[in-house]
Amino acid sequence: MQGKMEKSREILVEKLDLPKDVMLNLPKITIIGNDEITIENHKGIILFDRNIIKINTKVKIIDIEGENFEILYIGDSTITISGKFKSISYEV
């Protein structure tokens, strides 16, 4: 039943041309250069180290690799991280 509701919601959002990240609680990733990332609609930090970060989202876990990571801001569903980023990917 949950699958049908989610699919119906996706179709409605598409037809009404509403922002998917807000309406479907999907992650929105904003990258500024290679030294700042903001992730909205996250579900928590799984791992935080100076060289790797794993962040949970509704879709999948986001892996961020690089060096000298610091959390600049963390809120209810938004996190901003600084450092030198080498890669950003979803876990398979």
Supply the pLDDT for residue 51. Answer: 94
Asked if residue 60 belongs to a domain, the reply is yes
Of 81, 36, 35, 39, nearest to 57 by C-alpha is 39
CA dist., res. 66 & res. 77, Å (int): 23
pLDDT digits (tens, 9 = 90+) for 44-69: 999 999 999 999 998 899 999 999 99
φ/ψ bin of 15: left (φ > 0), alpha (ψ from -120 to 50), beta (otherwise): alpha
Model confidence, pTM: 0.77
- The tally of domains found in the chain comes to 1
Report the CATH number at residue 66: 2.60.40.2000
Instruction: Look up the domain containing 45 and give its range.
Output: 25-90
* Joined tokens for residue 14: 């598409």
